[in-house]
Chain A
Amino acid sequence: MLHARKTEGEAVVATVELRFSALPEHVRTARLVAAAVARRAGVDEAVLDEVRLAVGEACTRAVGLHRANNADLPVCVFLIEGEKKFSIEVGEEAPSAPETAEDRAKVPSARADEEAMGHPGSAESGGAEDEGEMGLAVISGLVDDVEVIGGPGGGIIRMSWPANPAVELP
């Protein structure tokens, strides 16, 4: 799918835009598509594992937030080929809403383990969001150029990597 959209007043063409229902089984699809587009965009082969992991983490976080907030909206991933960089934006269109224990149980996380271990105190805070924090920690450790825009319950994770697209012959 080709889409044109604007970011901060500047016209940006998303090379590929992916929208999927906020279900864990679709995160793998997002990883595969992102890696394929990144490879085509000229991202170094050695970095593709990082791209795959980072986009997976961002999508996992988005799925968790959408489900925790009962947001019946798709997770959006924009894969953008720039001149010398390849960018990925993962949008979390989840409105802020009170989270329930039942919601937390829907998304597997380290938090779920803690609850199973009988630490009721830790169940007081947000599960999906804590899981998202772990994902963010991984993204921050992996990606040099990363930006998280927006507040709790919604926002965009923007990541980019250097790319050297091959010259296309006529």
Chain B
Amino acid sequence: MDLSLSTRTVGDRTVVEVGGEIDVYTAPKLREQLVELVNDGSYHLVVDMEGVDFLDSTGLGVLVGGLKRVRAHEGSLRLVCNQERILKIFRITGLTKVFPIHTSVDEAVAATD
């Protein structure tokens, strides 16, 4: 399955809905999307990963890259994920301490640091 991406604006947040598989082949598409959003001035991102079937270290690298970009503009990057198999990858790499991970888009959009 390929990667699907769609974006929408909720208040001052931009929600990126990701679906499919994020791996070495598809991760560049996600990177391009995040770079484009930041270049266009969207610094508060919510990446909704509920539709993601597979995520590997390349995908993690892209998300970390996105986080660095928004932080350079004092922005934020929050994740929405309830899938245990995806959350496990964040846990074993210690990235649960780096990304705020929420159970719903509403919760992520409402969250403040």
Contacts and interface: CB of A to CB of B under 8 A. Distances in A.
Interface residues of B, number: 25
B23 A116 contact: no
Interface string B83-105: 00100010011000000000000
Contacts of A28: 21, 23, 25
A145 B11 CA distance: 48
A107 B35 CA distance: 17
B72 interface: yes
Nearest to B66: A113
Given A28-B21, A60-B23, A109 B93 contact: no
Interface residues of A, number: 30
Contacts of A52: 54
B24 interface: yes
B68 A113 contact: yes
Contacts of A57: 56-57
Nearest to B34: A113
